[in-house]
Structure 1
Amino acid sequence: MRVVRRRIVATSFSAEAAERIIVALDGMAPDQALAFSAQVEGLCWVKVGLELFVQAGPEVVAQLRDQGLRVFLDLKFHDIPATMAGACRRAAALGAELITVHACAGSDALKAAQAGAVEGAQSTGQRVPTLLAVTVLTSWEEQQLQRELDISQGIAERVPRLAQLSASAGIGGCVCSPLEVAALRAQHPEPFALVTPGIRPKGAAVGDQARVMGPAEAMAAGASKLVIGRPITQAENSSGAFATCCAALMV
């Protein structure tokens, strides 16, 4: 197992608050992402999405871990069971500790993905990752979902159905809109993880997210971790923006 160290700095927020926030490195070139993650004080978790992974390759996970960071690998695997198992086996072997899969891949694929992740971690001495099932992407609005995909189910019905499917298949958590957190937490107590994108601190632009909430409100609703990107990565002072988000969780 790789031994990593991160410089300890004095911060105005607790380590527990910092552990709750995952900073999304979306829209960054590999060199930018590595430079950014190295300079944000108190940073614990980063998200590597499709764009960065495709450009940088698997080695970006190792590079971020060498900075002492924990990695959420957000590639949203959705395929047949054998391919899902292989992909999650490889992702776990890289040392990613959170990995996304699509719940609508079905129970057989989800079970295979979970087994592959356990095998990949154990074969390389890594921590067994938590798989997170994507229910309904936070960019979807209900009428658009029904119109374009011809799905009669509303989001309020579809999200818990997919979450239950995932939990029954042994998946450790879900990615969901913060607006669905309270209802899901009532059905799925800890340690089932609820990781929420669509987090926008007060005054931040909504961007392409349709279902959003503030950091403190999302945590109060039952979120396990919050994914925050542009409000931190595009701030003039990213360390300050990260600290502000962390401080909001301590109120």
Structure 2
Amino acid sequence: MPADEMRDRLIVGLDVPTLAEAEKAVAELGDTVGFYKIGYQLAFAGGLGFAQELVQSGKKVFLDMKLLDIDNTVAKGVENIARMGVTMLTLHAYPKAMRAAVAAAEGSGLCLLGVTVLTSMDEQDLIDAGYEYDPHTLVLRRAEQVRDAGMGGVVCSAAEAEAVRAIVGPDLAVVTPGIRPAGAALGDQKRVMTPAGAIRAGASHLVVARPVVAAADRRAAAETILAEMLTAA
């Protein structure tokens, strides 16, 4: 696979506290990275406006909002997000919310992603939260619900990517956070995989935050990850 195609599969998470830090990271990464994730931390520090600036500059944006609410509220939120021109948006993979979002995003080109089980959660965490399923079983059940709702893809751990890909088929996005290059610290992630391993497992996109944005040389860190991804192509 050409390097520029692989570049579109790497999503760098701008998990930084201020717009100034985000702008600095994007400037340092330059044309090495073309796809960015904006989550709660940056969104509530002016990141939604920054998302539109990135889109206008030719970058792709993954808005990681993990929406979940009553159907009408989800639908109205998705309608406005679709107008922003971002590429991807996350929702928690609850069937009613997903169906409402799909109807609201129809014709927009916005790729809706269902979040299955957070990669910071293990079996005990799910038990504590009142779920009867282990992480793997719950991920697969929600992958089926994502597919049946007509969503654009799934967010799951790379450890579940192969099984999820078998459920959703070849066309849906399988987006995997919790990616750590060989030798990197795990941080608060519990179900992780290397970039090459995730690609081989069936991931369409990899989300990498701290290994890039916290690196002394952000561009070099991103280039290393891309090189690892290319070994799996």
| Fold conserved between structures, TM > 0.5 | yes
CA shift at 1:213, angstroms? 0.3
Residue 25 of structure 1 corresponds to 14
> Which consecutive residues of structure 1, in runs of 5 or more, have no partner in the other structure?
1-12, 122-127
Q: What CA distance in whole angstroms lies between the structure 1 residues aligned with 2:36 and 2:204? A: 15
CA shift at 1:186, angstroms? 1.4
Residue 179 of structure 2 corresponds to 199
How do 1:47-58 and structure 2 match up within 5 A?
47-58=37-48
Q: What CA distance in whole angstroms lies between the structure 2 residues aligned with 1:176 and 1:27? A: 22
Provide the TM-score with structure 1 as the length reference: 0.88
Question: Which amino acid in structure 2 is aligned with residue 56 of structure 1?
Answer: G
Answer whether contact 1:89 1:118 (CA < 8 A) is retained. no
User: Superposition RMSD on alpha carbons, in Å?
Assistant: 1.3
CA shift at 1:117, angstroms? 1.9
Q: How many positions carry a matched residue from both structures?
A: 229
In the TM superposition, what whole-angstrom CA distance separates every residue of 1:104-142 from its partner, at most 9, and x where no partner exists? 3xx2321111121236x3xxxxxx111000011111011
99, 114, 125: which one aligns with 1:144: 125
Q: What CA distance in whole angstroms lies between the structure 2 residues aligned with 1:230 and 1:81? A: 34
Answer whether contact 1:197 1:227 (CA < 8 A) is retained. yes
1:40 alignment partner, SS class: helix
Q: What CA distance in whole angstroms lies between the structure 1 residues aligned with 2:227 and 2:157? A: 22
In the TM superposition, what whole-angstrom CA distance separates every residue of 1:67-114 from its partner, at most 9, and x where no partner exists? 32100000000011111111111111111110000113xx23211111
CA shift at 1:166, angstroms? 1.4
Bigger mean CA offset, 29-38 vs 164-173: 29-38
> Which consecutive residues of structure 2, in runs of 5 or more, have no partner in the other structure?
none
Question: Which amino acid in structure 2 is aligned with residue 239 of structure 1?
Answer: R
How do 1:1-251 and structure 2 match up within 5 A?
14-41=3-30, 42-104=32-94, 107-118=95-106, 121=108, 128-146=109-127, 148-251=128-231
Answer whether contact 2:19 2:47 (CA < 8 A) is retained. no
Answer whether contact 2:126 2:133 (CA < 8 A) is retained. no
Change (3 A) 1:53 1:46: same
Answer whether contact 1:71 1:97 (CA < 8 A) is retained. yes
